[in-house]
Amino acid sequence: MDNTLLTTTLATSNVTAVLTNSNRTDVDNFQFPEDEVPKPPLLIVKPLYCHSLPGQFILKCYRREIHFTWIPPDTKIARAMVKFREFHQPKFTTMSDYGWGHSGVKFRNHTITSLKPNRLYEFGLNLIYENSTFDRFPKIGSKDICACKTYPDVPDAPLDLRYHYMQGNQYTLEWTPNNDNGEPIFTYNMKSMPIVSSNSEQPKWDSITPHNLTDKQANITLDTNHQSAFQLRAVNKIGMSDPAYLIIRPPFQKVPDKYIFCLANAF
């Protein structure tokens, strides 16, 4: 797309600002392309058998999921409800009533998703027997619980990512560290790409080596003086977080003094 002059401010201080249609449109229409990063290795976990609950209650804890299997006891049960909570929380979350009974389904497999990493989760049962009596497990006041801990995971994406212009193609970046999810964050991964016109082939993400990196700040130098997309990922020993994105807009290009006279004559 050809650059179309929108505004021109003439000044003797060599700060003529030029804004183009193409620059504005490219940024307005820009969508951050996905960038493939290595996935955390799959976990192989050992089953945990909970002897504090009736029947056979078996847990497998992963990073953000817990899989359980319950094989009911021989007791005649009319209904059973599984419940779970993050340890030390005041209330259990009661799952749907599956209507498990002695004469019906003998076992149940289920996976609970969207859990927090590196957290201890406790499980229990509410049972209604065929004689209409009720029981709950664990018993109130019991210290014998059924629980397992999810594994640590990659960090959460950094928060409040922002930048400050320094000079040339140099910028200072700042952000707020997010949850490390059980393993300390030891570095940050940074990449950028120039934002090009829509009729050009989209460039790929390029790695950036920061300067003076801390847990919440770094200095970077871009390879271009054009508008650029930027991504930041926190890294722990499990892997990389999802990215935090921003668009870096350099100051308007300054027009040298020798061109001011030509621009003025054009009007």
Residue range 210-260, pLDDT digits in tens: 999 999 999 999 988 889 999 999 999 999 999 999 999 988 655 455 444
Could you tell me the CATH superfamily of domain 155-253?
Immunoglobulins (2.60.40.10)
- One-letter identity of residue 93: T
- The residue type found at 208 is I
- Residue 203: is its pLDDT beyond 60? yes
Whether the predicted pLDDT of 114 surpasses 90? yes
Residue 105 has pLDDT above 60, yes or no: no
- Structural domain spans, the chain: 48-149, 155-253
What letter represents residue 103's amino acid?
S
Phi, psi dihedral angles at 205 (to 5 degrees): -65, 135
Q: Sorting pLDDT into bands at 50, 70 and 90, what band is 129?
A: confident
pLDDT confidence of residue 262: 46
pTM (predicted TM-score): 0.76
Per-residue pLDDT, averaged over 19-46, amounts to 74
pLDDT at 198: 59
| Statement: residue 151 has pLDDT above 70 | yes
Mean pLDDT score, 30-40: 84
pLDDT of 66 higher than 90: yes
Helix or strand holding residue 266 (H, E): helix 257-266
Is the pLDDT at 165 greater than 50? The verdict is: yes
Residues 6+ apart with CB under 8 A from 7: 17, 18, 19
For residue 200, what pLDDT is reported?
A: 60
Token pair in block for residue 206:
């390029």
State how far the Cα of 66 lies from the Cα of 76, in Å rounded to an integer: 27
Q: How far apart (Å, rounded) are the C-alpha atoms in residues 124 and 72?
A: 13
Report angle CA 154, 158, 162 to the nearest 5 degrees: 160
Do residues 166 and 211 make contact, with C-beta atoms less than 8 angstroms apart?
Answer: no
Bridge-partner residues for 20, per DSSP?
5
Was domain 48-149 assigned CATH 3.40.50.720?
Answer: no
Mean pLDDT over 85-111 rounds to: 71
pLDDT, residue 17, reads 35
* Inter-CA distances, 46 with 6, 49, 109, 120, 132, Å: 65, 10, 16, 16, 37
Give the per-residue pLDDT at 230. Answer: 96
Specify the range with the lowest mean pLDDT, choosing from 64-73, 92-101, 114-123, 238-247: 92-101
CB atoms under 10 Å from CB of 75, counted, come to 12
pLDDT for res 21: 43
> For residue 27, what are its two tokens?
């940024």
Mean pLDDT score of the chain: 81
The secondary element (H helix, E strand) that includes residue 22 is: helix 21-28
Q: Which of 24, 4, 150, 147 is nearest to 84 (CA)?
A: 147
| Span 181-194, pLDDT tens digits | 999 999 999 999 98
